[in-house]
Structure 1
Amino acid sequence: MNGHPHAFLALFLGVAVAFPLILLGVAQLWVRFFQPAKPNALKNAVYECGLPPQGESWIQFKAHYYLYAILFLIFDVEVLFLLPFAVAFTGLPAGALLAMLVFILLLAEGLVWAWARGHLNWK
């Protein structure tokens, strides 16, 4: 086993590329030979929980719900980053404090930006 020092990495890369390609090939062959397409009017019809479709399928959703969800996730993840910092605060160097202050200032900037643009007002 005194081969090239990067031989294992090359082998690993080869397996990492070949494995998904082989699986995709097998899946393609499976679909082609064992599940041929048999389209008909019933299969191509719109399905709504066993009921016949009614009205238009396009519905306009309000983006405010998604915006609130994204803002919640951003500030929820902030807590996940702040908790370990707060627990180990006394044992950390000054660089960690500076990095956390930059992190908090960036999040505060995002909050002020969302507030100034009126994204936090419920309409």
Structure 2
Amino acid sequence: MADNTHYWVLLVYTFVVIALVAGMIGVSHFLGQRHLKRATIEPFESGIVTVGYARFRLPVQFYLIAMFFVIFDLEAAYLYAWATAVHAAGWTGYVVISVFILALLAALAYLWRAGALEWGPKPRALAIVRRR
């Protein structure tokens, strides 16, 4: 049977976190600036003044590359965690990570062959013109 006497620690931790977040929000509300000028309404990104309209459509390739980055970045973090425990994992862990890497390479090859990594315009098929 599990020891249920230590749940109070989790409860205290939860209340401390909630109080800390509420305190930070409350302090920023009371000590924050309250002026509304033209410059405070405008979005400001890295010191660059905005130019043009921000709600334009981007090609789907931007979103695909972002998804690929997140997916492969998480997998790199998984590989790093495995590398720190390589001795404890033994040969079984080596086989499992090899299968994992092969699956990653297969997914990357599929994406490459499907054209998901292509950025430029699609080449037009050249029509063979018969001369008479």
TM-score w.r.t. structure 2 length? 0.53
2: CA distance, partners of 1:31 / 1:75: 34
Distance change in 2, residues 1:96/1:25 (3 Å): closer
> Against the structure 1 CA distance between its residues 117 and 18, is the aligned structure 2 distance closer, same or farther, given a 3 Å change threshold?
same
Say what the alpha-carbon RMSD is for the aligned residues. Answer: 4.2
Runs of 4+ deviating beyond 6 Å? none
Deviation at 1:6, TM superposition (A): 3.2
Equivalent residues, number = 112
1:56 aligns with 2:15: no
Q: What percent of counterpart residues are identical?
A: 16
Q: Distance in 2 between matches of 1:50 and 1:98?
A: 50
Which of 33, 42, 46 is equivalent to 1:46?
42
Please report how far the alpha carbon of residue 122 of structure 1 lies from its aligned counterpart in structure 2 after TM superposition. Answer: 3.9
Deviation at residue 17 of structure 1 after TM alignment: 0.4
Q: 1:122 to 1:75 in 2, by over 3 A?
A: farther
Deviations 1:99-122 (A, max 9, x none): 133213311221122112212334
Structure 1 equivalent of residue 90 of structure 2: 92
Q: Could you tell me how far apart the structure 2 residues matched to 1:21 and 1:75 are?
A: 29
Give 5+ residue unaligned stretches, structure 2.
Answer: 121-132
Q: What SS class does the counterpart of residue 40 from structure 1 fall into?
A: coil
Unmatched 5+ stretches in structure 1: none
Task: Encode CA deviations 1:27-51: one digit per residue, 9 max, x unaligned.
Answer: 233244443x635343543155485
**Which residue in the other structure is 2:76 paired with?**
77
**Please, which of 117, 121, 128 is the counterpart of residue 120 of structure 1?**
117
1:24 to partner: Cα distance:
1.9
Closer/same/farther in 2, CA of residues 96 and 56 from structure 1, 3 Å limit:
closer
